[in-house]
Amino acid sequence: MKRTSNIRYRSLLKITGWLIVFECVLMVLPLLLSVVNGDIQDIKAFAAAMAVAGVAGGLPVVLNRKESIKLNQRESYLLISTVWIAFSLFGMLPFMMCSSPVPFADAFFEAMSGFTTTGASVYSDVESLGKGILLWRAMIQWLGGLGIVFFLIAILPALNNSRGTLLFNVETTGISHDKIHPHIRKTASSLWTVYSILTLALATLLLLGGMDIFDSICVAMSTLSTGGFSTRNEGIAYWHSGYIASVMTVFMIIGGINFIFIYNTVVNRFRGVWKNEVVRIFLATVLTAGAVTGFIIWTRGGEGFNDLVLSPLFHVSSAITSTGFSYSDFGTWGNASLAITMMLMICGACAGSTSGGIKIDRIAVMFKTLRSEITYTLFPNHLNRITVGDRSVDQRNLVRILAFCAFYILITGVGALLMSAFGYDLTDSFFASASCIGNSGLGYGTTAAGYGGLPGSLKMFLSFEMLVGRLEIFTVFVLFYKSFWK
């Protein structure tokens, strides 16, 4: 008997079309900035990109205007993956047509790096880019921080139901997903409000620290989204300001914490903030890694507050939250600090945050499972329940976590082997692969000055790693499963 698919493609096309139209509208801001600055070629680039995106998004919306939005879990997986790829395809158009154009593979890499908040860039000289392009890079990171579809849930009433909850659960990172309100749209609106307020607060603090208004807005969006795109070639070191580095360290850490927890903490006036086990582990990891890195720098001749405290704390915060900003040249700190950096990138911050990596929550479960197995070896009759905070992890979730971690390391290794097959050093290859799947964007060795020199085919694979890392593997790889389409 012939098997047929019951996927409602018309509903998927309608939602995707709405999102692409929204992306078209977003381009108005960088277009206006290009007009103000008189960047003629950038004006043409954004105008052309808006025209293409407007038609490509508007057409399926018009053709399917009578189609009701109906989604099941399988269609949610397909929609999420499709939307992130579509946004990158249309979002890359300004990079291909601006005053500093790049080829397809480079433009797609840059756009995917932005939307997934990876922050790896093909541009070695970002100061040569027009302000409109720099603003667009910051905006796509900021939008990708909480999630593209998550924004649609906040503004589209038709998704204020179980379908919106499905999309929320698929796109949001972590082991389990809490809601603030019974209605998913209110949850999305609340989180975007907190996200926006924190971004505005950071931009204000950076402005007070000596940045101009343009840099402060772009850097604030890149910081809270844990993205890492900079407006300066030297990164944060350009400003030579301990104040700016300190403020950004605090907000990178905030970006690495579950935003639902941040919302509840503010609403409850910070009562019970230290009761969250995952947050405690996260902060303890940052402080411990910072102290160890500071000690390593001290053994290599470093001295003073900036070298021994601020630089290591900024760096470990940037690495574990997958922000990818650079304040000091960590490549000169030796192999021990390099190993710490790679472990932090793989580890990641808290689930439900804007950061990448495996996530602290899963790492905690892995260590507790290891302890449980050792206890079971000694006391076979002992029953040990694995919990994260006040929540028990059942056997099904435990298997899923262990499978996720194994798959994550496997993909990282495959990426490293593929890059080394192109003739690159194995350490550089593993670092680049871990950086991309962890949505970190930090570069080392070959990629220290950027990813622009890599072959186009390799950039496309690393772009795939970024997508897989942002959508946490299963959302993407389920599409390659034969039964998914039956």
The predicted pLDDT at position 2 comes to 47
Q: What was the pLDDT predicted at 184?
A: 74
**How is residue 394 written in tokens?**
């059942």
**What pLDDT was estimated at residue 94?**
96
- Beta carbons of 111 and 92 less than 8 angstroms apart: yes
pLDDT bin (cut points 50, 70, 90) of residue 159 is low
Task: For residue range 471-480, list pLDDT tens digits in order.
Answer: 888 888 888 8
Q: State the Cα–Cα distance between residues 116 and 457, nearest whole angstrom.
A: 19
**Residue 126 C-beta-side C-alpha neighbours within 13 Å:** 27
Residue 170: what pLDDT? 67
Which of 138-152, 269-283, 365-379, 393-407 shows the lowest mean pLDDT across its residues? Answer: 269-283
Model pLDDT, residue 156: 65
Residue 272's pLDDT is: 62
The CA-to-CA distance between both ends of the chain, in Å, stands at 12
Task: Give CA–CA dist 333/356, Å, rounded.
Answer: 24
Least confident range of 43-52, 69-78, 119-128, 186-195: 69-78
Model pLDDT for residues 107-116, shown as the tens digit of each residue: 999 999 999 9
Q: Does residue 176 carry a pLDDT above 60?
A: no
pLDDT at 361 over 50: yes
pLDDT of residue 383 exceeding 80, the answer is no
Which residue would you say has higher pLDDT here, 314 or 7?
314
Residue 442 has pLDDT above 50, yes or no: yes
Distances (CA, A) of 20 to 192, 369, 433: 19, 43, 29
Q: Count the neighbouring beta carbons within 10 Å of the beta carbon of residue 69.
A: 18
Give the range among 62-66, 344-348, 410-414 with minimum mean pLDDT: 62-66
33 Cβ partners below 8 Å, 6+ apart? 131, 132, 135
| Cα distance between residue 131 and residue 33, in whole Å | 7
pLDDT band at 163 (very low <50, low <70, confident <90, very high): low
**What is the C-alpha separation between 251 and 243, in angstroms, rounded?**
13
Residue-wise pLDDT for 238-293, tens only, equals 998 999 999 999 999 999 998 888 888 777 766 666 778 888 999 999 999 999 99
Residue 362 has pLDDT above 70, yes or no: yes
Average pLDDT over residues 174-181: 56
More confident residue, 165 or 211: 211
Q: What is the mean pLDDT of residues 83-108?
A: 94
pLDDT at 165: 67
Q: How far is the C-alpha of 31 from the C-alpha of 107, rounded, in Å? A: 18
Report residue 146's pLDDT band, with 50, 70 and 90 as the boundaries. Answer: confident
pLDDT given at position 52:
96
Collapsing DSSP to helix, strand or coil, 387 comes out as strand
Contact 59, 16 (CB under 8 A): no
Contact 180, 188 (CB under 8 A): no
pLDDT band at residue 481 using 50, 70 and 90 as cut-offs: confident
Q: Could you give the angle at which helices 104-115 and 456-470 cross, rounded to 10 degrees? A: 20
Mean predicted confidence (pLDDT) in 331-336: 87
Q: Which of 228, 253, 239, 237 has the alpha carbon at shortest distance from 451? A: 228
Spatial distance between the Cα atoms of 114 and 466, rounded to a whole number of angstroms: 10
Q: What is the band of 171 on the pLDDT scale with cuts at 50, 70, 90?
A: low
Q: Percent of the chain having pLDDT more than 70?
A: 92
